[in-house]
Structure 1
Amino acid sequence: MQGGMNGNWTGVRIGALALLWGSTFLWIELALEALTPVQVTLSRCVIGAVTLLVACRCAGHRLPRGRSIWGRIAVAAFFCNALPFAMFSVGQRSIDSGVAGVLNATTPLWAVLIGVVTGMERGLRPLRLGGLLTGYAGVVLILAPWKAAESGGSGIAAVALAAASYAIGFAYMGRHLVGTGIPTISLSAAQLVVATALTAVTVPFGGLEPVDVSARTLIVVLVLGVVATAATFHLTYRNIAAEGATNTATLGYLLPVVSVALGVVVLGEDFNVRLGVGMAVVLVGVAVTRSRRGETPLGVAERQPTTQG
């Protein structure tokens, strides 16, 4: 009974994370209408950090202490926050939000590769490998690389770099931060604080341009910072603690469905039969990848966290 309840809550967390994470590309696209990539990145880091600091305080937790842990947080903040946030903002100047979400779905492939290289993966079972390949086939179908010339090449490269960076960050967090006994709310707050500091260094390179702040821009930036950054990042941390870095990265396969749908409905981006079929294939791949029949879940840390707060 308890296992069933845990499974239900896991499903709710995964669904919420997919929706929030998938909507990020929409909010970035809207924010870029008024802000530069550096300004978008810095604003989401600042608002996200403040939000999680308040949440951490309300939960009765403190930020981590010790030079060693803060050094590890800095590495994670670079690969999981500062670099990918910046690359998404840069990339989405030349590609649609839906395409950005699709490219982000390559994160699981990078995560598996990194997991095998670092020893965090104990080998790929046929079922899991089949799910990964199926999901990747859906991504390829949606992205249609044979039409890549119609999209911005530099934008595609920037978002692909962001996806690879996420995979590195997830693996690092799973190995060096999760399971240390520090509440995930404290870790996520600290990580966004460091990401803010790292992003602030880039302000001279596009962050000083004048901004015509409207009510619409303020709302977009607040949603991007509070919902698509703070809430999403903390849920990501909790999911890494509960299911491991690779399983969390597998959520990336759900993002094209959300990002493409929002891009079509809200921004009027293109949608056709190929995209619809591709999203269906992606969902099948996710279902197969997450199946645990006869297999030991991969990517789940051997050392379980003592606190998830």
Structure 2
Amino acid sequence: MPLSSLLKLFGLAAIWGGSFLFMRIAAPVLGPVLLIELRVGLAAVFLLGLALLWKKTLDIKADWKHFVILGLFNTAVPFLLFAWAAKSLPASLMSVLNATTPIWGAIFGAIWMRNRLSVKTIIGLALGVSGVAVLVGLDGAHLSPLALLGVGAGLIAAACYAIAALYSKVAKSVDAFSNAHGSMWAATLMVLPAAPFFPAAAMPDVWVMICVAMLGIVCSGIAYILYFKLIDEVGAASATTVTFLVPIFGTLWGSLVLHEHVGLVSLVGGALIIAGVALITGFSPSALMKRRAVTAE
């Protein structure tokens, strides 16, 4: 992997890890519905500006159903669930729950697509489930009932991402930028009718509005561009290694900015989940290094 691509990978992980920090700050003030409407709306407008600049058009008539499905499962529902969870969960825990997406993907793939589970995948599933059990069963003793519900919301959000990923594999072929652009507008229209019924809990200060702007423009708009460029440069397999870095940055930002405590139980549970994801996705550091060497040559 070239140095420029490696920097994009770490930059993307830092941005997506930061999204949980920004939600943790803004969600208690704005509420999950208004926050996500602002997030997806800003992202949609930002991507529209890029589309106009790059002269990329959306074929809404042909692809609107496709955008609706992606907007529902890849954006609106998981964003809302994580924003609701952010009212009670630390950013570090949310980032770890987000990393369970490949675990859900393996489960749904086995059920819906009749994918055979290898021994490695089964071990990975066992490790991932064990990690969640550690986080909820042991760390749960220190969590409020509302926080435990937040854990459930985070897991369901990760499951939605997995559904969207599986759908994308069998859906009609639409370019990546159009998927991002169209799904953001679909999510914006989905959440909009509910926004007036869930007003902000308090008047947002300048820091909350900065968090909203960061979520919409940076964590959604710019992050998508980085991700798509990574896929073009190094392929989908290498690009998805960002999954292993996001919890690291989510924990780092939560600790540095919000002074969140990260205990041994959280570290053990997170490590089990990441190990399970590595087995399920077939991630191999040695193989990745070989790909980097070949690319460099």
TM-based fold match above 0.5: yes
The alignment-based identity, stated in percent, is 27
- 2:192 paired residue number: 200
Show the 5 A alignment for 1:118-197.
118-119=112-113, 122-141=115-134, 143-149=135-141, 150-151=143-144, 152=146, 153-177=148-172, 180=173, 182-197=174-189
Cα deviation for residue 140 of structure 1 reads: 4.4
Going from structure 1 to structure 2, the CA distance change for 1:39 and 1:292 (only over 3 Å counts) comes to: closer
Whether 1:104 aligns to 2:98 is: yes
Q: Residues of 2 paired with 1:93 and 1:139: CA distance?
A: 20
Q: Give the match for residue 294 of structure 2.
A: none
* Residues 118 and 235 of structure 1: CA distance in aligned 2, closer, same or farther (over 3 Å): farther
Per the TM alignment, residue 255 of structure 1 is displaced from its structure 2 partner at its CA by 3.2
Shift of 1:28: 0.4
In structure 1, the residue matched to 2:288 is none
Residue 66 of structure 1 pairs with residue 58 of structure 2 = no
1:78, CA displacement in angstroms? 0.5
Larger CA deviation: 151-160 vs 27-36: 151-160
CA contact 1:23–1:258 (8 Å) conserved in 2: yes
Pairwise CA distance, 1:113:
1.2
Deviations 1:196-247 (CA, angstroms, capped at 9, x unpaired):
000102113303x475243222211111111112233455566788427xx8
Unmatched runs of 5 consecutive residues or more in structure 2: 285-297
Instruction: State the 1:129 CA deviation.
Output: 4.2
TM-score (norm 2): 0.80
Q: 1:140, 1:232 → 2: CA distance?
A: 31
| Amino acid in the other structure paired with 1:86 | L
Is this contact kept in 2: 1:170–1:240, CA < 8 A? no
Counterpart for residue 26 of structure 1:
21
Q: Specify which of 75, 83, 91 is matched with residue 81 of structure 1.
A: 75
Partner of 1:90: 84
CA offsets, 1:267-309, max 9 Å, x none? Answer: 111122333444555555555555467xxxxxxxxxxxxxxxx
Matched, 1:273 2:264: yes
Change (3 A) 1:133 1:103: same
Deviation at 1:252, TM superposition (A): 4.2
Q: In the alignment, which residue of structure 1 is the partner of 2:292? A: none
* Paired residues for 1:214-253 under 5 Å: 214-235=205-226, 242-243=235-236, 248=240, 251-253=242-244
- Whether the 8 Å CA contact 1:254–1:283 is kept in 2: the answer is no
**CA RMSD, 1 decimal:** 3.0
Determine if contact 2:37/2:192 at 8 Å carries over to the other structure: yes
Structure 2 counterpart of 1:258, one-letter code: F
Residue 259 (structure 1) aligns with: 250
Contact 1:83-1:162 within 8 A present in 2 as well: yes
Q: Which has the higher helix share?
A: 2
Residue 203 of structure 2 corresponds to residue 212 of structure 1:
yes
Contact 2:100/2:277 (CA < 8 Å) preserved in 1? no
Alignment of 1:28-67 (within 5 A): 28-67=23-62
Q: Is the partner of 1:275 in helix, strand or coil?
A: helix
Equivalent-residue separation in structure 1 for 2:91 and 2:246 (angstroms): 11
Q: What per-residue deviation string (whole Å, max 9, x for no partner) do you get for residues 159-197 of structure 1? A: 2221111111121123215xx2x4311221111011000
Instruction: State the alpha-carbon separation in 2 of the partners of residues 211 and 258 from structure 1.
Output: 29
Q: Could you tell me which residue of structure 2 aligns to residue 304 of structure 1?
A: none
Q: In structure 1, what residue type is equivalent to 2:149?
A: S
Measure the CA separation in 2 of the matches of 1:126 and 1:73. 36
What is the Cα deviation at residue 253 of structure 1? 4.7
Tell me, yes or no, if the aligned pair for 1:97 and 1:260 is still in contact at 8 Å. yes
Q: What is the rounded CA distance, in whole Å, between the counterparts of 1:292 and 1:166 in structure 2?
A: 19
1:210–1:116 CA distance, 2 compared to 1 (3 A): closer
Is contact 1:24-1:224 (8 Å) kept? yes
Higher relative contact order (CA 8 A, sep 6+): 2
SS at match of 1:94: coil
| TM-aligned CA deviation for residue 97 of structure 1 | 1.9
Q: Which moved more, 1:250-259 or 1:70-79?
A: 250-259
Provide the rounded CA distance (Å) in 1 between the counterparts of 2:54 and 2:249: 31
Please, what TM-score do these two structures have when normalized by structure 1? 0.77
Counterpart Cα distance in 1 of 2:278 and 2:6 = 12
